[in-house]
Amino acid sequence: MSNKSRSDRNTPHIPTTTYQLPTTNYSKRGIILTFITITILSLFAISYGAYTLIQDHSSINNRITTLNNFVTSVEQDLPRQTYISGYRAIFLFNKQIVDTGTYISDIDSTLNEIFFNGTLNGNHQELMDDATFSSFQSLLSSNAEKINANVQLLNPTISITQDNPWNLKITLNTTLIIQDNNNLASWNKTTSTTSSIPIENFDDPIYSANTAGKVLNKINQTPYQVFVTGSDYTNLTTHFQNSLYKTSISAPSFLMRLQGNLSASPNGIESLVNPQKLIDQDVTVKYKSVIDYIYFSTSDPTKYTVPSVSNLILDNQNNHLAIYNVSGVVVPA
């Protein structure tokens, strides 16, 4: 007989089972998901960084391009501004001679006064209000501000020369400094800007000074190379009556004429003074060669008349008779 109690015999037996989660598989999946997430985030970070770098680089390139374009525009504008200032200065030179009857004694000094101060002999010249160096500097600065930059023209000098019979040369030397206000880039360049100014249609200073401004003879180049052909004096007559100009290495250049210097120049020009123009303006006429730099000087070389052209008197200095094709027809005056 069993020793177990009745209660033990009557209680059903429930087997005990231990359940374990498959931790190994879920852990591997988590690690893989985490790795994938980290990889994606890393790729995103790298891509974003690269994109930002590209964007920054593109912005820098655009900025430099903008500044380069501005530098180019300044360099292109300098000759134009130099031309405007130089042309107006020459006009004022001529006006001064007409008004006073005196030449420009120190042309470089006078040019500097006009260009930098806007004055002539200390008197304000309205014509230069927007053509002085300071006005040009202000215009450049205003344009530079629009692109967040700064521009300076340092140590400027201006001069006038002539190495061609029909043109003056105005030269502006300066140091051009352009800076980005964010210190991204800067340019520092010494520039020499030259503008060529035609002398045609300016008044000839030696006519103005010697007629008290009564006879203004504009410089117009003659179309003629040959003045007399056979018995045809048409070209010479037209050239003389209109006081047209031809090149002459025996004559003064226009720049010299502004200063009252009647010496010879490799860039010289000469005209024939038409006495009738002087008579019409009550200017006393001289009986001498009408070659302009001789007529308006104290020189009085041997005179010759040209019978076929009324009032035309020439000299034979510097081979003038041959130049005007009248060597065989002139008559000593």
In a domain, 70, yes or no: yes
Q: For 179-183, 214-218, 277-281, which range has the lowest pLDDT when averaged over its residues?
A: 179-183
User: What is the predicted pLDDT for the residue at 250?
Assistant: 97
Confidence of residue 27 (pLDDT cuts 50, 70, 90): low
Read off the pLDDT of residues 133-168 as tens digits, 9 standing for 90 and up: 999 999 999 999 999 999 999 999 999 999 999 999
Residues sharing a CB contact under 8 Å with residue 41, sequence separation 6 or more, in sequence order: none
Average pLDDT over residues 9-26: 49
Q: What is the DSSP letter of 272?
A: B
User: What is the predicted pLDDT for the residue at 18?
Assistant: 47
Q: For 68-72, 105-109, 243-247, 302-306, which range has the lowest pLDDT when averaged over its residues?
A: 68-72
Domain shared by 239 and 133, yes or no: no
In a domain, 134, yes or no: yes
Q: What is the DSSP letter of 218?
A: B
Read off the pLDDT of residues 119-131 as tens digits, 9 standing for 90 and up: 999 999 999 999 9
CB atoms under 10 Å from CB of 197, counted, come to: 19
Structure tokens at 298: 């104290």
Of 131, 164, 198, the residue that ends a domain is 198
Residues sharing a CB contact under 8 Å with residue 154, sequence separation 6 or more, in sequence order: 174, 175, 177
Structure tokens at 35: 């790795």
User: What is the predicted pLDDT for the residue at 7?
Assistant: 43
CB burial of residue 213 (10 Å; 0-12, 13-18, 19+)? middle
Domain shared by 159 and 244, yes or no: no
User: What is the predicted pLDDT for the residue at 260?
Assistant: 97
In a domain, 12, yes or no: no
pLDDT of 45 over the 70 cut: no
In a domain, 39, yes or no: no
Q: For residues 253 and 315, is the Cβ–Cβ distance under 8 A? A: no
CB burial of residue 135 (10 Å; 0-12, 13-18, 19+)? middle
Read off the pLDDT of residues 224-249 as tens digits, 9 standing for 90 and up: 999 999 999 999 999 999 999 999 99
Domain shared by 171 and 300, yes or no: no
Run of H or E including 191: strand 186-198
- Can you tell me the distance from the alpha carbon of 225 to that of 218, in angstroms, rounded to the nearest whole number? 20
| Number of domains composing the chain | 2
Domain shared by 69 and 180, yes or no: yes
pLDDT of 323 over the 70 cut: yes
Name the residue among 250, 244, 248, 247 with its Cα closest to residue 299.
250
CA dihedral angle for residue 74, residue 77, residue 83, residue 86, rounded to 10 degrees: -40
Read off the pLDDT of residues 62-80 as tens digits, 9 standing for 90 and up: 778 888 888 888 888 999 9
Q: What is the DSSP letter of 188?
A: E
User: What is the predicted pLDDT for the residue at 71?
Assistant: 85
- Can you tell me the distance from the alpha carbon of 227 to that of 239, in angstroms, rounded to the nearest whole number? 8
CB atoms under 10 Å from CB of 310, counted, come to: 12
Confidence of residue 41 (pLDDT cuts 50, 70, 90): low
User: What is the predicted pLDDT for the residue at 68?
Assistant: 84
Structure tokens at 245: 């100009």
User: What is the predicted pLDDT for the residue at 36?
Assistant: 64
CA distances 223 to 101, 226, 229, 235, Å, are: 30, 9, 15, 9
In a domain, 286, yes or no: yes
Of 172, 198, 224, the residue that ends a domain is 198
Q: For 65-74, 82-91, 201-210, 283-292, which range has the lowest pLDDT when averaged over its residues?
A: 65-74
Average pLDDT over residues 198-202: 97
Domain containing residue 323: 205-332
In a domain, 25, yes or no: no
Domain shared by 79 and 182, yes or no: yes
Of 144, 168, 198, the residue that ends a domain is 198
Run of H or E including 178: strand 167-180
User: What is the predicted pLDDT for the residue at 249?
Assistant: 97
In a domain, 171, yes or no: yes
Place of tokens 């209000």: 129
CB burial of residue 251 (10 Å; 0-12, 13-18, 19+)? buried
pLDDT of 313 over the 70 cut: yes
